[in-house]
Amino acid sequence: MSSKIIQNLPRRSLLSLAVMLSLSPCLALSNDKAAPIFLSAATDSDDKHWLKAFTIENNQLTELYSHQLRARAHAATLSSKVDLFVAVARRPGRFMVLGDTLSGNILQEIEAPEGRHFYGHGVFSSDDEFFYTTESAYDDLQGDSGRIGVWRVNKSSTTVALERVNEFPSYGVGPHELLLMPDQETLVVANGGIRTHPESVREKLNIDSMQPSLVYINRSTGENLEQRSLPAEYHQASIRHLDINPQGQLAMSMQFEGEPFLRVPLLATHQRGEAIRPMLAPEQVQSQLSQYVGSIRYDESGRFLVASCPRANVLTFWDAGSGEFLNQVRARDACGVCAYKDGFLYSAGTGQLRYYDLPQQAIMNMTISEDFTTGLFWDNHLAAG
């Protein structure tokens, strides 16, 4: 694994950051005096795979560091203290890397246990003592093969490493994104419902019988606290991505594996103890989305949602409270989204990194070195701290 650390940057001390106990994996707080740090996986035109870090100060976007990875990663996750990051391999990959956010150094490359593969997502506990990953026990071709891997973050004065200490069921198949709820003890998991096997690469093996679900799990005991499904008619809507707002409302995005012409929700919200509330855009908008949402994120206030729809080349905006569709904006191949200032930063497979200002309803360009983004395809998700 090669490493390219960019030196002599106007770097703020990351360790002096106030502890940002944000629930969202991608909330670059505007009231924080330090510039935020963003992480994303990317692939270049030579088909090399990278993890890239950058920051934005005074509308100037600057690369911090870059690591070549052995294969595509899907999402990166920052620890609560923002001193560590983990980038997890894309389904059905079997590696993840742990790194030091300040130096950019890779501290450990971790293999999935025998018989497990990752789904590209993980989350730290709020005390940064544990890290949780969504996994598949892929040789179980009949049962609920989803697993939550439990990793202890072992820290000494000189080393930091993840150690596999436990696992528990995800109570479904194909768990994808998982997050920590505001009580800091409950994990919420999107069981996408799709069975895959590394030998079949990315082939989906159970589209007719898939049963996605949303599951709340006690992170200490592995107990299933609450499990919710979409109405039966939407059983082919694979729940993939999640976000939580400061009020504890959960938002989820789906990709529909059924017929391309059916009018089905691709977004929903949920409050514990209630039914899932699906959200639909007006017919002409909904039918253009190609049954696919890439990422979903709340804005900093938690009132608005952005859902990236890279197959439709749009970002869609929603009122999280009412569930109403508000607006859409053209953004070719945009997928990674992240709350930033009064709107969202987004990344695209075209190499673009841009800011959408919600009050002005306008895309804003930033100053970016051409060398940083030319020939680069940003992967699905942006993380920030």
Can you give the binding site for other proteins, defined by CB under 8 A? Answer: 43, 45, 74, 90-91, 120, 176, 202, 240, 255, 259-261, 283-284, 287-288, 294, 308, 310-311, 313, 330-335, 348-351, 374-375, 377-380
- Which has the closest alpha carbon to 358: 305, 285, 311? 305
SS3 letters across 9-68: CCCCCHHHCCCCCCCCCEEECCCCCCCCEEEEEEEECCCCEEEEEEEEECCEEEEEEEEE
Task: Considering the complex, state which of residue 322 and residue 374 has its C-beta at the smaller distance from other proteins.
Answer: 374
Backbone angles phi, psi at 199, to 5 degrees: -70, -25
Q: Which is nearer to other proteins, 191 or 308 (CB)?
A: 308
Minimum CB–partner distance for residue 218 and other proteins (Å): 27
**Edge-to-edge order in the sheet of strand 73-78:** 73-78, 84-89, 95-100, 106-111
Least distance in Å: CB of 159 to other proteins?
32
As given in the structure block, the two tokens for residue 357 are 């200002």
CB of 222 to other proteins, least distance (A): 25
DSSP state of 292: B
Identify the bridge partners of residue 109 per DSSP, sorted by sequence position. Answer: 97
| Residues whose CB is less than 8 angstroms from the CB of residue 111 and which lie 6 or more positions away in sequence, other chains included | 94, 95
**What SS3 state is found at 138?**
coil
Question: For other proteins, which is the closer residue by CB, 104 or 265?
Answer: 265
298 or 378: CB nearest other proteins: 378
Smallest separation, CB 356 to other proteins (Å): 13
CB of 350 to other proteins, least distance (A): 5
CA distances from 125 to 79, 105, 128, 150, 191 (A): 8, 22, 5, 10, 20
- 195 and 220 Cβ atoms separated by less than 8 Å: no
Q: How many angstroms separate the Cα of 168 from the Cα of each of 82, 162, 180, 213, 225?
A: 26, 17, 16, 16, 13
If the CB atoms of residues 46 and 199 are measured against other proteins, the closer one turns out to be 46
Question: Which residues in 177-200 are b (16+ Cβ under 10 Å) and which e?
Answer: bbbbbeeeebbbbbbbbbbbbbee
The nearest distance, CB 345 to other proteins, in angstroms, is 15
* Residue 58, burial from CB neighbour count under 10 angstroms (0-12, 13-18, 19+): exposed
| Closest approach of other proteins to the CB of residue 83, in Å | 28
Considering the complex, state which of residue 271 and residue 361 has its C-beta at the smaller distance from other proteins. 361
Q: Which is nearer to other proteins, 206 or 218 (CB)?
A: 206
Please, what is the minimum distance in Å from the beta carbon of residue 340 to other proteins?
19
Nearer to other proteins, 48 or 155 (CB): 48
- Name the residue nearer to other proteins (CB basis): 61 or 88: 88
Shortest separation between residue 80's beta carbon and other proteins, angstroms = 25
